[in-house]
């Protein structure tokens, strides 16, 4: 997903007049990232027969976690310690996040937390979607449906900063 995002940025910059240098640089960064990550790894993951297999089981377990305390949830930051009680499967991997930020927020904050997030999204997203320079925020939110980028403090701070800047217009 990150590779697709970088390629999209590169293409958009190449199509924009006067930005060909930046587009070429973004494309070079994308290629370098693919090489650094190991192209055979990326290629193998793209062709897995069921790439979300572990995640779908993880999401089902997290859904059970949410329904065990649907109103207020388990508390912010408790997923890692509470999840093992609800795990439907065993894996060799250590599970620290639900690989779905919205679902994890629901388990930790319950319906109250989801309502708060929904109100913020309704307030912020119109400004984000009308400013092309903020579309990366929407990409991060889409990415958060299959991963946990918003659990990373650096990414969360950038999202908040860009979203706040979009509100100033």
* Pair 106, 66: CB distance under 8 Å: yes
What pTM value is reported for the model?
Answer: 0.71
Q: Rounded mean pLDDT of 101-125?
A: 91
Of the two residues 164 and 169, the one the predictor is more confident about is 164
What would the pLDDT profile of 3-54 be if each residue is shown by its tens digit? 666 677 777 767 776 666 766 777 777 777 777 777 777 677 667 777 677 8
- Average pLDDT of span 67-77: 93
CA distance 96 to 84: 10
Tell whether the model's pLDDT for residue 155 goes beyond 80.
Answer: yes
Neighbour-count burial for 58-74, b at 16+ CB within 10 Å, e otherwise = bbebbbebbeebeeebb
Percent share of the chain, pLDDT over 70: 85
Measured CA to CA in angstroms, residue 98 lies from 3, 67, 91, 158 at distances of: 22, 15, 14, 22
- CB-CB neighbours of 21 under 10 Å: 10
- What is the widest separation between alpha-carbon atoms in the chain? 55
């Amino acid at each position: 997903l990150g590779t697709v995002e970088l390629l999209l940025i590169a293409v958009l910059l190449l199509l924009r007049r006067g930005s060909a240098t930046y587009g070429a640089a973004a494309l070079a960064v994308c290629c370098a990232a693919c090489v650094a990550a190991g192209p055979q790894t990326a290629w193998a993951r793209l062709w897995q027969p069921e790439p979300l297999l572990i995640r779908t089981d993880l999401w089902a377990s997290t859904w059970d976690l949410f329904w065990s305390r649907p109103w207020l949830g388990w508390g912010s930051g408790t997923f890692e310690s509470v999840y093992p009680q609800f795990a439907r499967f065993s894996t060799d991997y250590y599970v620290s996040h639900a690989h779905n930020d919205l679902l994890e927020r629901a388990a930790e904050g319950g319906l109250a937390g989801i309502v708060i997030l929904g109100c913020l999204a309704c307030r912020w997203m119109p400004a984000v979607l009308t400013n092309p320079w903020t579309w990366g925020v929407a990409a991060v939110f889409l990415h958060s449906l299959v991963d946990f980028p918003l659990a990373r403090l650096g990414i969360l701070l950038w999202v908040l900063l860009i979203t706040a800047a979009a509100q100033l217009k």
